[in-house]
Homo-oligomer: A and B are copies of this chain.
Amino acid sequence: MKFKVKLLGIEAGGKPIIVMDDEYASLMGIHSSDRVEVTYKKENAIAIVNVAADFPKNTLGIYEEVRTKLKVQSGEEVEVRPAERPESLSYIRDKILGRRLQGSEIKMIVMDVVERRLSDVELASFVTALHIRGTNMDEAEALSRAMVDTGQTLDFGKAPVLDKHGIGGVPGDKATLLVVPIVSAAGFTIPKTSSRAITSPAGTADRVEVLCPVDLTSEEIRAVVEKTNACLAWGGALDLAPADDLFIQVEYPLSIDPLLLPSIMSKKKAISADYVVMDIPAGRGAKIKTIGEAHALARDFIELGRRLDMQVHCAVTFGEQPIGYAIGPALEAREALSTLMGEGPVDLIDKATSLAGVLFEMVGINNGKQKANGLLKSGKAEKKLREIIAAQGGDPSIKPDDIEMGDKTAKIISEEGGRVQWIDNRAVAQIAREAGAPKEKAAGVLLRRKLGDKVAKGDVLFEIYAKSSQKLDAAISLAESLKPMGITERFGEKMLMDRIPTKIPHEKPFILER
């Protein structure tokens, strides 16, 4: 059936949507969410139909995504035909029913996801079914490969390629800003791509961006790696495993993350990694609560790595409190830079040198951690970070004090004396976000006490930094209600942990970071 085009001049968030009036939709036997094939001259596009009651008859409302594909103008005529349901839909249905999917079936689903042939409803159903039914290792491998194959890959012509990844969940984790310069200072190639924060107060890309640009093209990354053996780039614009970004768009509102393994491993494969150290923070308040869970996940990472020709070692790290003292992009960049310059928190140094050490040992160097420590102490790692900053277009002589912090600040005071017995990671992260992080880089939380530290009544437990008094006030009142630090003389003496429903149980914030 022929329709007259009306350009709507709006994007539909990447989805190929067209709008049709209900009468003509009904004539064609088309329902909302059905797919149609729209043909204009020699171009054609598969689009998903929105049926509207008050839309001009026999007119096709076209969003930008479809206009770009068809190169059509308002007033022109297009042919519209009902399109077949994509084959992948029957595999999604199979997964709903609990069947294990074949590699070729998974490939078809991922291709249809990337080519936007599946609606949000179908994608949400697939992700939900994956979450409930689970994926076995064959499926995880097929998902990883399909995600790599439907995106760009980077090959640096250097071997071996080393990489570091953390599954996230612990605030203040700026270890990557140390591991990358330490490893590359030893002459190894470590082209690190990172994401921005989704649910946390800072992602590695947000932290690095305080020091230099991170939004590099593949060519720019290649040039930076050529020059410095390393990079600290944002992976988001590189089209590495683009299916993952589309999955994240539905996982985030649903607070589920069934694609953790394929998501991470496909991104490692897409940058041609040979050796990967995988950081799994464990403990109360981390994503992984127990060493046992950490081991199970580690086995899966190692096995999936093996299937994808990558050697993976996992490091289970202490995840019961933030790493270092700083939480928020600018505060963390400062702390990382200071640490490379010789003054930093013990736990951050220990974590970074341990992870770098694991990578060194994977490629045959003895006493890896000792070597990492040497590179840090000698200033070689600092020099390397400055080379990377320069190569990415930042100021290589940047000093910690050059980094701007929020000028609205507040000190949170202890109401009792004792020792810090626990720190609630999620509460700290929420407070930093309430203060404006990660969007406002200068916002965040600076701890003044950590686990085991002595506290007197009236001591400062932590400081909040914000750009506006409004956000500062919001963060203060959140801090007062969440009470993220537990102070007692001895652990285990405060017996009442929670009281329900007198204290309304907060929904636990969901950590999507990978």
The chain A residues found within 8 Å of chain B, CB to CB, are 8, 10-13, 19, 26-29, 31-34, 50-55, 61, 64, 85, 89-90, 92-93, 96, 98, 119-125, 127-129, 131-133, 198, 249-250, 252-256, 433, 439, 507
Contact = CB atoms under 8 A, between A and B. Distances in A.
Nearest to A26: B439
A260 to B, nearest CB: 16
17 contacts: A11-B54, A11-B55, A26-B439, A29-B433, A34-B253, A89-B253, A96-B128, A119-B120, A121-B124, A121-B250, A121-B253, A122-B253, A125-B127, A125-B128, A125-B250, A129-B132, A132-B132
Nearest to A131: B96
Given A11-B54, A50-B12, A122-B254, A507 B33 contact: no
Contacts of A10: 8, 19, 52, 55, 61
Contacts of A90: 507
Nearest to A251: B121
A124 B129 contact: no
Contacts of A255: 89, 93
Contacts of A252: 31, 33
A198 B32 CA distance: 12
A254 B52 contact: no
Contact of A93 (B28, B32, B254): B254
Contacts of A29: 433, 439
Nearest to A132: B132
Contacts of A433: 29
Given A32-B249, A125-B254, 12 more contacts: A8-B10, A11-B19, A12-B52, A13-B32, A13-B52, A29-B439, A33-B249, A89-B255, A90-B507, A96-B256, A121-B124, A128-B128
Nearest to A93: B255
Contacts of A85: 507
A249 B28 CA distance: 17
A125 to B, nearest CB: 4
Contacts of A8: 8, 10
Contacts of A52: 10-13
B27 A439 contact: yes
Contacts of A96: 128, 131-132, 254, 256
A120 B129 contact: no
A128 B258 CA distance: 15
Contacts of A198: 31
A268 to B, nearest CB: 25
Contacts of A55: 10-11
A121 B123 CA distance: 8
Nearest to A508: B90
Given A33-B253, A439-B29, A53 B124 contact: no
A51 B253 CA distance: 14
B120 A121 contact: yes
Contacts of A253: 33-34, 89, 119, 121-122
A328 B196 CA distance: 56
Contacts of A98: 132
Contact of A120 (B12, B92, B124): B124
Contacts of A54: 11, 64
Which of A51, A64, A132 has its CB near the most chain B CB atoms (within 10 A)? Answer: A132
A121 B127 CA distance: 10
B50 A13 contact: yes
Nearest to A54: B11
A90 B26 CA distance: 36
Nearest to A248: B31
Nearest to A122: B253
Closest 7 CB pairs of A and B: A124-B124, A11-B52, A121-B124, A128-B128, A125-B128, A33-B253, A124-B125
A207 B172 CA distance: 66
B11 A53 contact: yes
Which of A10, A55, A127, A131 has its CB near the most chain B CB atoms (within 10 A)? Answer: A10
Contacts of A26: 439
A129 B125 CA distance: 8
A133 B122 CA distance: 18
A98 B52 CA distance: 36
Nearest to A52: B11
A20 to B, nearest CB: 11
A119 B120 CA distance: 10
